[in-house]
Amino acid sequence: MHSLLRKFLKQKDANPEEVSSDQLKLEIDTLYVVLSNIYGTDKLILKASKLEALGLMRSELLGERLLGLQKLANDDPTEKNVPKIDEIPSLLQEIEEHIAEILAKRSVEERLNQAVAEKMQEHHEEYIKEIKTQVLKETGGPENAQTLKKLAQLEKMNATKPVSSAIEILKPQTLEEIVGQESALQALLAKLATPFPQHILIYGPPGVGKTSAARVALETVKAFPDSPFGPDAPFIEVDGTTLRWDPRDVTNPLLGSVHDPIYQGAKKDLADTGIPEPKLGLVNDAHTGVLFIDEIGEMDPTLLNKLLKVLEDKRVYFESSYYDPQDAKSPLYIKKIFEEGVPADFVLIGATTREPHELNPALRSRCAEVYFVPLEPSHIIEIVRQAARKLAVQLEEGVPDIISEYVIEGRKANSILLDAYGFARFKNSGEKDVVITGKEVREVLRSARLTPYVHQKVIPGKVIGRILGLGVSGFLGSILEIEVKVFSGLAGKGNIRFNETAGSMARDAVFNAAAVIRNLTGEDIKNYDLHVNVVGGGRIDGPSAGLATTMAIYSALKDQPLRRDVAVTGEISIQGKVKPVGGIYEKIFGAKQAGVNTVIIPEENLAEVPSGLKGIEVIAVNKIEEALKVARAD
């Protein structure tokens, strides 16, 4: 900019008659820009105000604008004469030379300051070391060669760049990245995005995104209008399995504790005067935010009950036999803590893999409940592809499908992909682009000794004396293959055999089936030798296999084939009615995983079927005749 002005002035000196008022105005504006760059806009306006040049700067008259420029350049408020038009070129040249001097001084000062800073940086560590040594010599402080060495090691660790964790990279950061839980996410947001958010319990199998969903939901809700959570609302995360109740109240990371000034390491100034020191807990850290407790069902019952008290009071109260409210030496903040407590107003979100009936009823009564569902193969495929995009790797066609056959957890799917990623990088260390093939994935699966999640895939067709029942364990459903063989026997002396490992419920189901079969066909199964087998020895813990057992016996006795792609669940009464059972959603999911096309359920369970269900047909029946009609597909 400075050279541009010189060029302009040389042109003006060579052709003074060609210099117009517009050109003079442009040059004055340019000089003001130069001054603004030197001092900064704010400081330039302040300087102009002190030199009574602010009005002149904003004037439309060239002479007055030049007078303001003179005052700023010369730092002289006494300049009063407005230059004439013919005086402007020469005055501009003087001002430009003065500004050039200022720039030159600034340049020299900057070089000197930079040189000084470099020298100070070079000698900083030696200087600090000398000062520390001198102070230690003079004061006889606690530092010695060993403590200083450990301090240096700690500072080195802090300065080291941390290793990036792939798990952190793959964690969902937005709601869209949490796959397969659309209904649960909607329910979670609905309970948080109100002026009066609710405490929440999240049920679901491991590895389906419960923790990530809670964290992302809080960040999402912060942006909602009238949100009860501020931009700085904390998300405090803790594992319930690590929280233990200490009956001595010596330490309590969740609720806080009071440290004995003599035995428990209170601050020195407090220990000397015998004043107890309160230590705040995680419930206080979570104030105005969310306290997330994973595996909340594993918490100590006593500690959980104390947490429920905090939820009601929204404060934590501390007690100590060492506290004396009359002690004038007690700091005000300690008096305030003991007398008023510490705020702990937060929303509790607990996650668990346990079933609802296993949790503390008092906890459940205070919380809204949200159910996360197992992931389907299509969800696992999307999670794997999403992880590949984050890792910036390419997947061979079919890799996500292979992984989806072996896992139903998003976390485990990511773990398999990361192992395969390591294999691929190890084998192709010289290549820039990493491609994960099915071969690497198979190697990971073999080394981890994993087997396909679904061992049995349904095939179409019909068969006599066989039906698929449905069982459930926790949040996961599965199919049970029940087969029956009927042999002619002596009248009234037939035998019934079945898996002892199937349990007493299986025995009861067979006896109930005998009454139903006799009512349907007039046949007495005591005239036959009957063998009932639950393939694989699966244990039946409830009455839900009654309908399946009865249908298999009927099929074998009447020599009528049943569809292979049908699975049934329901208790059978001796009158042939199909009674309701539990775990309907999980059973439907297990049937869908195995490729079942049609599920028969009790009519009274119809309300439990999830809306928008795709890929499987659910038929509700009230009597066994209706179930047989569907399974025979005559």
Q: Where are the domains of the chain?
A: 1-160, 181-371, 377-447, 462-632
Q: What is the pLDDT of residue 143?
A: 60
Instruction: Give φ, ψ of 45 to 5 degrees.
Output: -65, -40
Q: Residue 71: helix, strand or coil by DSSP?
A: helix
**Comparing C-alpha atoms, which of 292, 291, 304, 283 is closest to residue 359?**
304
> Once rounded to an integer, what is the mean pLDDT over residues 577-599?
86
Catalytic pick from 191, 412, 587, 592? 587
609 pLDDT exceeds 80? yes
User: Which tens digits make up the pLDDT trace of 290-331?
Assistant: 999 999 999 988 899 999 999 999 999 988 877 778 877 778
Checking if the pLDDT of 132 tops 70, the result is no
SS3 labels along 100-116? HHHHHHHHHHHHHHHHH
Of the pLDDT bands very low, low, confident and very high (cuts 50, 70, 90), residue 480 is confident
Confidence of residue 493 (pLDDT cuts 50, 70, 90): confident
Instruction: Give mean pLDDT, residues 28-35.
Output: 78
Using CA of residue 497, residue 500, residue 502, residue 504, what is the dihedral sign? positive
Lowest mean pLDDT among 82-96, 489-503, 567-581: 489-503
Residue 67 has pLDDT above 80, yes or no: no
Tokens linked to 298 = 């594993």
Is the pLDDT at 11 greater than 60? The verdict is no
Is it true that 377-447 and 462-632 share their CATH fold?
Answer: no
The tokens for 130 are 């000398």
CB 628 within 8 A of CB 551: yes
Mean pLDDT of 18-28: 71
Q: Is the pLDDT of residue 420 over 50?
A: yes
Q: Single out the residue of 248, 200, 328, 229 nearest to residue 288, CA to CA.
A: 229
Mean pLDDT along residues 524-540: 76
Which one is catalytic: 227, 415, 478, 544?
544
Active site residue 587: yes
Instruction: Spell out the CATH class of 462-632.
Output: alpha beta
Q: Is the pLDDT of residue 38 over 60?
A: yes
Q: What pLDDT is recorded for position 621?
A: 92
Find the mean pLDDT for residues 550-570: 89
Q: What is the pLDDT of residues 213-261, one digit of tens each?
A: 999 999 999 988 888 899 999 999 999 888 877 766 667 888 888 877 6
CATH of 181-371, picked from 3.40.50.300, 1.10.287.3240, 3.50.50.60, 2.10.109.10, is 3.40.50.300
Residues 481, 518: contact at Cβ < 8 Å?
no
CATH class of 377-447: mainly alpha
Residue 606 · residue 599 · CB < 8 Å: no
187-192-193-197 Cα dihedral, nearest 10 degrees: 120
Q: Where are the beta strands (DSSP E) in 117-274?
A: 199-203, 235-239, 257-259
C-alpha distances in Å from residue 190, one per residue of 32, 198, 481: 57, 9, 41
CA angle 334, 336, 342 (to 5 degrees): 95
- Evaluate if residue 497 carries a pLDDT over 80: no
Q: What is the pTM of this model?
A: 0.66
- Helix H or strand E segment including 563: strand 561-563
Our separate counts of H helices and E strands in the chain read 23, 22
The answer on pLDDT for 272 being more than 60 is: no
Element (H, E) at 529: strand 528-534
**In this model, does residue 162 exceed pLDDT 60?**
no
**Is there a catalytic annotation at residue 544?**
yes
Identify the CA nearest to 103 among candidates 50, 37, 10.
Answer: 37
Kindly report, residue by residue over 454-464, the tens digit of the pLDDT. 666 778 888 88
Which DSSP string corresponds to 614-631? -SSEEEEESBHHHHHHHH
Rounded to a whole number, what is the distance in angstroms from the first to the last CA of the chain? 94
Separation CA 8–CA 218 (nearest Å) = 61
Distance in angstroms (rounded) separating the CA atoms of residues 7 and 24:
14
pLDDT for 186-212, tens place per residue?
999 999 988 899 999 999 888 888 999
Q: How does DSSP assign 361-407, residue by residue?
A: HHHHHHEEEEE--PPPHHHHHHHHHHHHHHHT-EE-TTHHHHHHHH-
Q: In this predicted structure, what is the pLDDT of residue 430?
A: 59
Residue type, 486: V
- Helix axes of 21-39 and 41-50: crossing angle, nearest 10 degrees: 110
φ, ψ of residue 259 in degrees (nearest 5)? -90, 130
Percent of all residues in the chain with a pLDDT value above 90, rounded to a whole number:
16
Q: 43: part of which helix (H) or strand (E)?
A: helix 41-50
Mean pLDDT across 364-370: 93
Res. 431 pLDDT band, cuts 50 70 90: low
R_g of the chain computed on alpha carbons: 40
Name the pairing type of β-strands 528-534 and 496-498: parallel
Burial class (CB in 10 A: 0-12, 13-18, 19+), 396: middle
Predicted confidence (pLDDT) at residue 68 exceeds the cutoff of 80: no
How far apart, in whole angstroms, are the C-alpha atoms of residue 631 and residue 222? 52
Average pLDDT over residues 38-55: 76
CA quadruple 44, 45, 50, 51: dihedral positive or negative? Answer: positive
Cα gap 544→540, rounded to integer Å = 8
The token duo for 194 is 């109100």
The mean pLDDT of the chain is 80
Higher pLDDT, 478 or 7: 478
Task: Return the axis-axis angle of helices 182-192 and 210-222, rounded to nearest 10°.
Answer: 50
Say what the pLDDT of residue 5 is: 46
pLDDT at 4: 45
DSSP per-residue string spanning 457-519:
---SSEEETEEEEEEEETTEEEEEEEEEEEEE--TT---EEE-GGG-HHHHHHHHHHHHHHHH
Contact predicate 283/291, CB 8 Å: yes
Determine the pLDDT at residue 575: 87
Q: What are the pLDDT digits (tens) for 560-569? A: 999 988 999 9
